Amino acid sequence: MKQNEYDFIIIGAGTAGSVLAGRLSENPENRVLVIEAGPGDRSIFINMPAAFSEPLKSDRLNWGYYSEPEPAMNNRRMYCPRGRVIGGSSSINGMVYIRGHALDYERWAENGLPDWSYSHCLPYFRKAQRHEFGTNPYRGGTGPVHVTAGRAKHILHSAWIEAGQQAGYEYSHDVNGYRQEGIGPFDRTVWNGRRCSAARAYLHPAMNRDNLDIISKCKARRILFENKKAVGVEFSQKGKVNTVRASKEVILSGGAINSPQLLQLSGIGPADRLKNLDIPVVADLPGVGENLRDHLEVYVQYESKQPVSLYPSLQPLGRVKVGLEWIFSKTGPGATNHFETGGFVRTKPGVRHPNIQYHFLPLAISYDGSIPPVGHGFQVHAGPMRPTAKGYVRIRSNDPDDHPEILFNYMGTENDREEMRDGIRLAREIIAQKAFDRYRGKELTPGPEAKTDDEIDAYVREKGESAYHPTCTCKMGSDNDPEAVVNNEGQVYGVENLRVADASIMPDLISGNTDTPTVMIAEKLSDSIAGKEPLNPSDAPFFEHPEWESKQR
């Protein structure tokens, strides 16, 4: 830290914080400081795409949160890894590039946020993107985030796409383009065989700017106020507590867990709860930490009758070979996340746009690698997209080192349970198609014994896992929304010079992976913070099944 006052202090060098730091420091007159609790992002396990399960398990690179006992999940404490490293969760995620459905953003607009419609958001998705196939009305070709298409050359990926069409689903060549609904390849934030995190895209190129300082291994403890005006940040580093001032804004980009935690520690949240913890109330905002949403998923997993899966690459000698090829040439199995295909489907007539996402993987293994594979196999990750159950993030004390109380309430409504059952059954139907006849062995999970609703529900309660997409805990909304924490520009209600810009401000959960929408949010808000005119809305159309009211596919 070169000085004790900056124009902008950004708390968190994660997905959104990296974008904001890169964009705001483009103006040499802006003095920008970024505070990050974690270390740098040079680890081979961050940069090798196929190794992403390692930082998910690492207590050095992620916060390693756990939920409270989940009532509808056999009272299991569910794992919630969040990036604690330069790049945040974009440095430890699965690198699947998904924007969500156009109607997600239309819904935001209809609920009091007209400038967050699809036509307003699409230009910012394009601005951020540098797609290997170049520019079209949906893709960007010159942005910082390098994106490559799923090659889908593995024989099991080809079988998945063929089976999806045999089951009656349309092929979608670009689920981020005109048509999300269907089966097809998935884009990835991978470039030249390396992870393209938000830090690599935005922060690394800006690190040599004289007007940008980045402090790692530095934990924000609370936001400082003078009356209702945010004026700085108190942080700890190497056992010492220091303060730094912001002349223009403090921008909180800690994510869906850390942002509401820090707001509450700073006196912004439900007044009664804060008073009970001896925290002086700065602004009584009941919505802080509420409205928590996440995607739950399960594996529909099979043995492979033929030795064609990625299993050999995970054996000791195979790991060495994969690692050496990646180190010396950035090619081979280490250079991809292997989630190269998937799909989006609707579970029944009357569902307007896809409510189930599938990720296909030519391997049978747990997402974080904690349960090793026992042989050749493959799996489909199945998960509902718009769960109706809500949870919360609430501080336990006024000690910043205490992990907050987190409850997701997974499978807490009959709607969510029904969608999960349907998603599993439809995945089974796709795998049952002729394209998989040569490969399809025994169903490993949920297993052939799980047939009835009760049996499938029991499997989900026991084995369901987070897809690691927590959002919505600092909800963006109009000033007459009692749950809203920030306005349409991310500014916190009831105070001055404080903004939240990350996945926590989503008003509800989008239909897909959440990292790319978080980049879009930060790009859009960086223009607002900088006082720039917003990009012109797009007129690109999007697909909606013409018979969605009467047909499932």
Other Cβ atoms less than 10 A from the Cβ of 478: the count is 13
Task: Please report which helix (H) or strand (E) contains residue 105, including its range.
Answer: helix 102-110
Alpha carbons 244 and 222: distance in angstroms, whole number: 11
* Continuous segment of H or E residues that includes residue 320: helix 316-329
- Residue 490: CA count within 13 A, CB half-sphere: 28
Cβ density class 429-461: b for 16+ within 10 Å, e for less: ebbebebbeebbbebbebeeebeeeeebbebbb
Distance CA 104, CA 544 (A): 12
* Strand stretches in 196-340, DSSP E: 212-215, 219-226, 229-237, 240-252, 268-269, 283-284, 290-292, 296-304
Q: What is the DSSP string of 111-142?
A: TT-GGGSHHHHHHHHHHHEEETT---SS--BS
**Per residue in 384-421, is it b (16+ CB within 10 Å) or e — as a string?**
bbbbebbbbbbbeeeebeeebebbbbbbbeeebbebbb
- Bridge-based pairing of strands 283-284 and 268-269 is parallel
Q: Whole-angstrom Cα distance, residue 73 to residue 75?
A: 5
Tell me, yes or no, if 353 is annotated catalytic: no
d(CA 299, CA 519): 28
DSSP state of 170: P
Query: Which residue among the candidates 101, 120, 469, 545 is catalytic per the annotation?
Result: 469
The secondary structure of residue 181, as a DSSP letter, is S
Partnered with residue 498 across adjacent β-strands are 250
Residues labelled catalytic:
469
